[in-house]
Amino acid sequence: MGTTRFIFAGAAVITMLASSAFADDMTGMVTRIDRLNGTISIQQTQKGTVGASSGNAGALQEYKAKDAAMLDAVHAGDRVSYAATETNGTGTLTKLEKQKP
């Protein structure tokens, strides 16, 4: 019984962390766009100033676009701000804006 509670508690913590990662607007760089399938890969930019000069990149995520037309305004290499939701392990892009240089 103790092991089951431990597993459920761990799953709850992971779920809370994953949902909070998608709560705020994020920034990143577009690495790949598949317009035929409506997907985009974004390398997330690290937030804050700690280690900002180290050159470490954030996680690479692939998202399905909520609306395929939102992919028309960006290209690989563009810096973007975006928002996404996650349903059943699949990330869905809900907002995508190209950042000004």
What are 17-31's pLDDT values in tens digits?
454 444 468 999 999
> Of 67, 93, 91, 90, which is closest to residue 82 (Cα–Cα)?
93
> Of 80, 42, 79, 36, which is closest to residue 63 (Cα–Cα)?
42
- Name the residue range of residue 32's domain: 25-98
Average pLDDT of the chain is 79
The total of structural domains in the chain comes to: 1
Task: Please give the angle made by the CA atoms of 5, 10 and 11, to the nearest 5 degrees.
Answer: 100
β-pair partners for 64: 39, 92
CATH number of the structural domain spanning residue 94? 2.40.50.320
Label residue 89 by pLDDT band (50, 70, 90).
confident
If you ran DSSP here, which 8-state letter would residue 69 be given?
Answer: G
pLDDT of 41 > 70? The answer is yes
What are 56-73's pLDDT values in tens digits?
567 889 999 999 999 999
pLDDT of residue 79: 96
Residue 14 lies inside a defined structural domain of this protein? no
Backbone angles phi, psi at 58, to 5 degrees: -85, -165
